[in-house]
Amino acid sequence: MPPAQTTGGFDDSLVVFAGSLLVGGVAIHVAANHVADVYDYGDAVLTALLGAIVWALLDGVPLVGPVLALVAWVGVIKWRYPVGWTRAGVIGIAAWAIATVVLAALALIGVGSLDAVGVPGT
């Protein structure tokens, strides 16, 4: 029996989304681990997903959308982790830097189709 044929479009998009969410989760996990001493990777992936949803909803608001989205994204981090606004911002900056390095490393080995879902600017 020959292997099942896939159309490629939806399956590929789902794989890219899942991989991108994992990259975003890794970035937030490593940052939160160092800043807030929390160790649950599942929380980081959920934070990345919620942050991506908040960013997508607010980024399109005219004039103030990007600023609102950034503040809301840091707010999601603050809500999910036992930190204040400053440390949530530090987690966000560190997650962005980590995601940028991870994506650059993946691009070097030929996996350039991923983003970091839940980490703005990557």
pLDDT (0 to 100) of residue 8: 59
Q: Which band of pLDDT confidence, cut at 50, 70 and 90, is reported for residue 27?
A: very high
- The pLDDT tens digits of the residues spanning 76-109 come to 999 999 999 999 999 999 999 999 999 999 889 9
Predicted TM-score (pTM) of the model is 0.84
pLDDT at 112 over 90: no
Residues 6+ apart with CB under 8 A from 85: 74, 78
| pLDDT band, residue 6 (cuts 50/70/90) | low
Distance CA 77, CA 27 (A): 12
Domains of the chain: which residue ranges? 15-108
